[in-house]
């Protein structure tokens, strides 16, 4: 019968010795203060799907399985709302329309303009993050006055690589 007290001690240790509500409250408090660390970030992108939405040739070219990597700098001032280049690659003129980046969750709407397109395109971002990493899926969609509308889904994986380069 000496085994019973040992098992009870092990169970208490595994459960944190407290009730689930206080453990959840502690996790919630930690998550509330979670922010992306300022610095240089490397973000890898992989194209998951490319869907032509009309009969025209897609106005934005992409191949399923295509990969790219870009870098973006997050300043201390921008840690709560990072630059759109973190999610878009920084090649087009993009503006964040709305963003929720809190408690380890990322949700953003970005509008971009590209030379040669007659209308801006939209990117939705949905993902998660820690202080020094992020994962997300994006959905890019065009609504052009001409043919060539396309929807492109990508997977992003990012990590902080160090300080931003001095300019």
The predicted-structure confidence for 146-160, as pLDDT tens digits, reads as follows 888 999 999 999 999
Is residue 99 assigned to a domain? yes
Q: Residues 48, 154: contact at Cβ < 8 Å?
A: yes
Give mean pLDDT, residues 86-90. 90
Spell out the alpha helix ranges (H) of 39-100. 85-88
Give the pLDDT of residue 45.
Answer: 97
Contacts of 152 by beta carbon, 8 Å cutoff, 6+ apart: 47, 49, 50, 51, 60, 62, 139, 140, 141
Q: Where are the beta strands (DSSP E) in the chain?
A: 39-52, 67-74, 93-102, 105-113, 121-129, 133-142, 150-162
Work out the burial of residue 102: count CB atoms within 10 Å of its CB; fewer than 13 is exposed, 13-18 middle, 19 or more buried.
middle
* Total number of domains constituting the chain: 1
Task: Please indicate, yes or no, if residue 26 is contained in any of the structural domains.
Answer: no
CA-to-CA separations, 113 to 8, 10, 148, in angstroms, rounded: 62, 59, 15
Per-residue pLDDT of 15-69, as tens digits, reads 444 555 544 544 444 445 688 999 999 999 999 999 999 988 888 989 999 999 9
Side-by-side strand order, sheet with 105-113: 67-74, 39-52, 150-162, 133-142, 121-129, 105-113, 93-102
Q: What is the mean pLDDT of residues 103-121?
A: 94
pLDDT, position 145: 85
Confirm whether 88 is domain-assigned.
yes
The phi-psi region of residue 90 (left if phi > 0; otherwise alpha if psi is between -120 and 50; otherwise beta) is left
Residue 61 lies in a domain: yes
Structural domain includes residue 10: no
Residue 143 within a domain: yes
5's enclosing H/E stretch is helix 3-14
Residue 147: give the domain boundaries.
36-162
Question: What is d(CA 114, CA 26) in angstroms, rounded to the nearest whole number?
Answer: 45
Label residue 167 by pLDDT band (50, 70, 90).
low
Assigned domain for 71 exists: yes
**Between these two residues, 126 and 59, which has the higher pLDDT value?**
126
Which of residues 30 and 133 earns the better pLDDT score? 133
**Tens-digit pLDDT profile for residues 1-16:** 443 333 333 334 444 4
Domain containing residue 98: CATH number: 2.40.128
Query: What pLDDT, on the 0 to 100 scale, is given for residue 28?
Result: 46
The reply to whether 17 falls in a domain is no
CB 111 within 8 A of CB 122: yes
Higher pLDDT, 93 or 16: 93
pLDDT for position 9: 37
């Amino acid at each position: 019968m000496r085994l019973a007290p040992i098992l009870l001690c092990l169970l208490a240790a595994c459960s944190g010795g407290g009730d689930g509500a206080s453990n959840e409250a502690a996790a919630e408090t930690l998550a509330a203060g979670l922010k992306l660390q300022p610095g240089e970030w490397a973000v890898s992108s992989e194209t998951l799907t490319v869907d032509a939405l009309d009969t025209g040739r897609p106005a934005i070219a992409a191949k399923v399985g295509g990969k790219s990597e870009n870098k973006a700098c997050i300043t201390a001032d921008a840690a709560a709302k990072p630059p759109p280049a973190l999610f878009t690659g920084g090649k087009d003129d993009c503006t964040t329309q709305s963003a929720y980046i809190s408690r380890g969750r990322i949700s953003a709407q970005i509008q971009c303009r590209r030379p040669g397109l007659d209308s801006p395109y939209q990117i939705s971002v949905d993902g998660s993050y820690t202080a020094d990493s992020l994962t997300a899926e994006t959905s890019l969609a065009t609504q052009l006055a001409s043919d060539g509308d396309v929807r492109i889904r990508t997977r992003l994986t990012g990590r902080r690589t160090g300080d931003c380069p001095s300019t």
